[in-house]
Amino acid sequence: MSTDRHRALTALRARPVDVLVIGGGIVGAGIARDAALRGFRVALVEQYDLASGTSSRPTRLIHGGLRYLELYDFGLVRDDLREREILLRVAPHLVFPLPFLLPQYGRSTVYQAKLRTGMQLYDALSFGKSLPSRRWLSREAVLVAEPAINPEGLQGAWRYYDAQVPLVERLVVESALDAARQGALVLNRARAERFLRDPDGRVTGAAVRDLHGRQEVDVRAHVTVNATGPWLDVTSDEIRPGKRPLLRLTKGVHLVTPSGTRNAHVLFSQTDGRLFFVVPWLGYSLIGTTDTNYRGDPAAAAADAEDVEYLSTEARRVFPRAPFDRVYYAWAGVRALVRVEGVKEGQVSRKHKVLDHETCDGVRGVVSVVGGKITAYRSIAEEVGDLVSRKLGRRTRSYTDRRPFPGGAMGDLRSFVDSDLWPRAQALGLARDAAERLGRVYGSLAHEVLDLVERDGTLARPLCPEKPAIVAELVRAVESEWALTLADFLLRRSDLGLHADQALDDAERIAAAMGELLRWDATNQAEQVALYRAEIAPMRLFSNAAKGPSTYRLSRVCFGS
């Protein structure tokens, strides 16, 4: 067990915290950051790893949601567009402007007028925005901008802007990191087993099992926040037994394929009319998402043949020459939506609720977050922070709308790399691509990675051949960012596990390097590689990209091929 983890467990045994947050996804980490910045004593516990659930499996967009206009969720759209601007400002290393094309095929004059009104409204609801306004592109202009698009029946396209967060996992990790820098105690691989109650039934914290060190600690808290996402009905059952479920769960699937477009696109399925995206991401195309009811353990969600066929087929209708029949891997996430019956999955609102169980269920000391989307996570955290402040009788305010993320102390990323990061990296013997990678993944925190290299020049060596990642990144992940397993590092602290090969050929080498830091013997290293392969196995069930751009086949290939 690391010294920091031992200290955290000792501190949690010693005295109560003001706020215990259960759940280390984007919402939970955001709440921990908001509360810690208000001056509260905070603990954050996560049963698996930070960002290991739904938070790592979205379309990776920060957007208002054009389709929510059709549901008349104007308030939701406006709030999310405001959050988009905040995140562009406070996390410029992780959140970037992204232009979209919304191509039109065979649409009636009435539909075109309706869409024009929608685009005008989207712009109007984002008043004060930093991004360019909408623009109509003629058919000829679209074909120049996107040569791969199907020209048959094409009428033109709307160009508009939203934002992308390519490495949403880093957004979660940096939220937790900022909370920790304000004194928050962060424990991953720590499962809340049950709520602690006083004789009057008030929730006074949770019994937490440290899955890493195999021990249990009672974490006492004045207020406990349940931010367990799609697990909420399970984790809240003991305080609302026999009551109607809070959630409606739906599954969303995304495909990662070779790059097939120059631009991000909003498309409509010809099968069922659903909106979906084709988005450039890390040099690939990201296609998604589906929206189907889900039952069962959210951790077991995986793409099936129907999901993959649906997305690949619909994307190739618009881009018939694109290599969308070659799937590198796919992920499936489970959305935690506020429960609504009698409507289709795609019609369920993405609005959230913050429940004070004292009001709803007569149980004091606990608050739950129901629903919500990544774009809104900061404002959800602020809402929870305001409620906690009232319950604790404290006058506080949120600072997350103006405080840069730990890696966000920079302006334009390209200028930062060119004028600030690259000269220092070059002086330490690093190649240009290594410096660019550090800026892209860590932002201004890249200087902390270079601090490690400055103290020990051997940490500048590559983690694996022909890739720009360096050993210092692994050291940072273990020593400063709570990475305890090979998967923690590859999938959620770096981007190595997100590329086409998912670092399968380098897993043993990286496990050996990580083992030197965590004292793994050869057996432990082999076990970590096996656990990593098992974790990504569901993502690679339909991996067929290695077979070349032949006719699309949904073949269950041998793992790792």
pLDDT tens-place string over residues 224-262: 999 999 999 999 999 999 899 999 999 999 999 999 999
Burial of 49 (0-12, 13-18, 19+ CB in 10 A): buried
Residues 461, 462, 468, 474, Cα dihedral to 10° = -90
Distance separating alpha carbons of residues 463 and 479, to the nearest angstrom: 17
How do residues 316-360 score in pLDDT, each as one tens digit?
A: 999 999 999 999 999 999 999 998 766 666 656 778 999 999 999
Q: Which residues of 223-261 are buried (b: 16+ CB within 10 A; e: fewer)?
A: bbbbbbbbbbbebbeebbeeeeebbbbbbbbbbbbbebb
CA distance 358 to 410: 43
Tokens of 277: 């995206």
- The top-level CATH class assigned to 413-545 is mainly alpha
Q: What is residue 344's predicted lDDT score, i.e. its pLDDT?
A: 66
Mean pLDDT of 37-56: 97
Give yes or no for residue 531 having a pLDDT over 70. Answer: yes
**Residue 538: pLDDT over 90:** yes
pLDDT at 268 over 70: yes
Dihedral (Cα; 188, 191, 194, 197), 10-degree rounding: -20
* Percentage, residues of the chain above pLDDT 70: 95
* 59, two tokens: 């379309």
Lowest mean pLDDT segment, chosen from 12-16, 77-81, 125-129, 551-555: 551-555
pLDDT given at position 66: 83
The pLDDT-based confidence of 3 (bands split at 50, 70, 90) is low
pLDDT at site 213: 81
Name the pLDDT band for 556 (thresholds 50, 70, 90): very low
Confirm if 472 and 461 have CB atoms less than 8 A apart.
no
Q: Sketch the domain layout of the chain as residue ranges.
A: 3-54+169-244+350-392, 95-163+247-343, 413-545
Question: 3-54+169-244+350-392 belongs to which CATH class?
Answer: alpha beta
Answer left, alpha or beta for residue 482, where phi above 0 means left and psi between -120 and 50 means alpha: left
Residue 122: phi and psi, rounded to 5, are -60, -40
Q: How distant, in Å, are the alpha carbons of 31, 179, 201, 495, 500 from that of 36?
A: 8, 5, 27, 28, 37
Residue range 95-163+247-343, CATH number: 3.30.9.10
pLDDT mean across residues, the chain: 93
Question: Which pLDDT score, from 0 to 100, does residue 517 have?
Answer: 96
Q: What's the DSSP call for residue 462? A: B
**How many C-beta atoms lie closer than 10 Å to residue 494's C-beta?**
25
**What would the pLDDT profile of 113-135 be if each residue is shown by its tens digit?**
999 999 999 999 988 889 999 99
List, for residues 458-496, the tens digit of each pLDDT value: 999 999 988 999 999 999 999 999 999 999 999 999 999
pLDDT at 559 over 50: no
Give CA–CA dist 524/438, Å, rounded.
29
Question: For the residues 154-172, what does the mean pLDDT come to?
Answer: 97
DSSP assignment, residue 216?
E
pLDDT-derived band at 79 (thresholds 50, 70, 90) equals very high
Comparing CA positions, the residue from 25, 43, 11, 362 lying closest to residue 203 is 362
Q: Work out the burial of residue 522: count CB atoms within 10 Å of its CB; fewer than 13 is exposed, 13-18 middle, 19 or more buried.
A: exposed
Confidence of residue 554 (pLDDT cuts 50, 70, 90): very low
pLDDT for the residue numbered 561 = 26
The confidence score (pLDDT) of residue 549 equals 36
Tens digits of residue pLDDT in 302-311? 999 999 999 9
Structure tokens at 120: 């005008």
pLDDT given for residue 2 in this prediction: 66
Is residue 550's pLDDT more than 50? no
pLDDT at 220: 98
